[in-house]
Structure 1
Amino acid sequence: MKKIIFRKLLLDCLTYFLLALFGISTIIWVFQAVNFLDIIIEGGRNYNIYFEYTLLNFPKIVSRILPFALFFSFSYTFIKYEANNELIIFWNHGVSKISVVNFFFWISILIMLIQIIFLSILVPKSQELARSTLRTSNVDYFEGLIKPKKFNDNIRGLTIFAQEKDVNGELKNIYIKKNNKTKGFQITFAKKGIFELKGNKKILVLYQGQTLNQNGENVTNFNFSKSDFGITNMNSHIVTYEKIQDQTTFILIKCVQSIFEIKINNTISCKSPKIIYKELFQRLISPFYLPVLILISLLLILTTKENQKYNKNKFFVFLAGFAIIVLSESSLGYITNSLTKNILISILPIIITLIIYFIFVYKLKISYRKL
């Protein structure tokens, strides 16, 4: 009977938790996806790249929302059970409150481990893939990048200006400067330009213009009545280096071991200990606040709704939960270059967990031998 009771309570908690987690994450993801439309409008990329990039950012959103969803869903479940007098059934069937606390404490440890794996492996990998998707993609909608009466330099090594653009997409008085890989450049002037489809590619066709080529000390120029301007294999201005957030946890740990000595793949400097400590703290230490949040929500079972202190207890629980969430996020600001100081900050969630657990022991008058 006790197993059925625990299973039912756990199932309800996890159901509300998952609904809240993916519901809130999806809403935030949709709003963020709207902001990512700049990838299409200003970056000139196709919709496949857009959808792939936005989907790869979903795991990061889930990891950020998880603490909020965990605390509020568990708190809501315990309040709902108390309001429906379901907790009384537990106590009448011989289920002790400390056994409920112990049961959910071990569940919180499991959720914490899942979050650590999520933050240490899945999120960095998805962020690296998202950045790699942009880094290796080409500009497919070059036509949309050109704004009249504005120098457009979204494309790396290319600046283009058009005095006006009519409703048919025809450009007037065009200036194009293209930097070569060597020490040189190409400048093109044209009275008119229009995008035409040739095969499965759109090209910019220029009319009545002149091109000036400079390569080292050599300068050449020629006039043309019609010329095709190649726009394939062009990339917009995006970050090409890997961020700390994209690095694997293994690399970051190796950096800590030899913080002032090595560089990893020439992409990440290990001479930035504070940044590395912060990233490791967020991945490996922040999840330790999850058991704290579940234990705080369990404080709701200490009083019944008939107790005059019940409403005050609810208010205290939500205030304490909110404070712990803020503390877990703000702790990153106290990370320094000193490993010793960072260790002290890192053991704080463990200390808080022990304090809350001993509150249960004291309140429920459970002796250490019976534990």
Structure 2
Amino acid sequence: MLEPGSTIGILGGGQLGRMMAMAALQLGFRVIGYAPPGDNVASSACDDFFANGWGETNALAAFASKCDRVTWEFENVPLSALEAIPENLLAPHPRALGIAQDRLKEKRFVEDLGATCAPYGRVDSDEDFARAVERIGTPGILKTVRDGYDGKGQWRIASAQEAQGVRFPGRPCIYEGMVEFETEFSVILVRDAGGEVRFWDSTANTHEGGMLVHSVLPAGSLVEAQVDEARAIARATAEALNYVGVLTLEFFATRSGPVFNEMAPRVHNSGHWTIEGAATSQFENHVRAITGLPLGGAGTRFARIDMRNIVGEEAGSAYRILAEEGEPHLHLYGKKEARAGRKMGHVTRVSNDAS
């Protein structure tokens, strides 16, 4: 267990790191961030911040020397960067990143644990792509095996004719058949070093352009009927990885049961509601888990919860939300540029009106 005043290092400078840092500060820890130069909004919540590239091993070593524990806020931290950080400082273990960064490894990993995935095939050439479309059919989606999130590095294919106009992008990809589903939902858990696991309630999630825009509780009868099966897969995943911290698995709720979509070895956008809506937020429980503190409760505190992302230029009028009914809790991330499709903040509304 880390002592009060110990230092937590966070790799990545985005809003997840910002909210994680705020939770760590509340618990009496110091926080140091590390990310390549840019609009690193987490820096305002850190005691110190290294704005250096992932390949700068001397800077990474200097950063690590100041930390008692190191974690990350997004899954695209290069594994090579972690080699400059002593393994005993890292939580979760980098093996989780190694799987989550490769969509093929990720699917095979969860399938071995009993999960159902959409039909898929590896694509390394135009010929591979044509064969995958012929075997799996359309509609489907072509994704790069590595990198890409919030809809980036993805090409939706509506028909075989449309597939003929899509060229292999020159790096390993995966082609997935589209899943007929009623809604999407996420399972977010926290696991400590002793193996204790706690789950937050699963929200029903809405995506636009591959990016989450809306999460609600209750999630509906279909999701509620499939949560136990999805949680079993998530627990098995955490145990197989000997995972420490917050872990998220996303699923499609289909008529035949939950279908695995992807894994995020970190705190997650669909868990932002836990700041106001749960006994302990995902950010605080992640900090508790990686520092050896007792886990907090994950129970939901309200009958209804609605979380929406604030995207792009919506941030310019976001303060108007504070005058609306429904107890809005506004979180703006302090980003300088309101680009189209960029997450600028979120608002959570909570209510005990069950109607």
TM range, normalised to the smaller chain?
A: under 0.3
What's the TM-score, normalizing by structure 2? 0.21
**Structure (1 or 2) with the greater strand fraction:** 2
Q: TM-score, normalised by structure 1?
A: 0.20
When Rg is computed on C-alpha atoms for both structures, the one with the higher figure is 1
Indicate the structure with greater helix content: 1
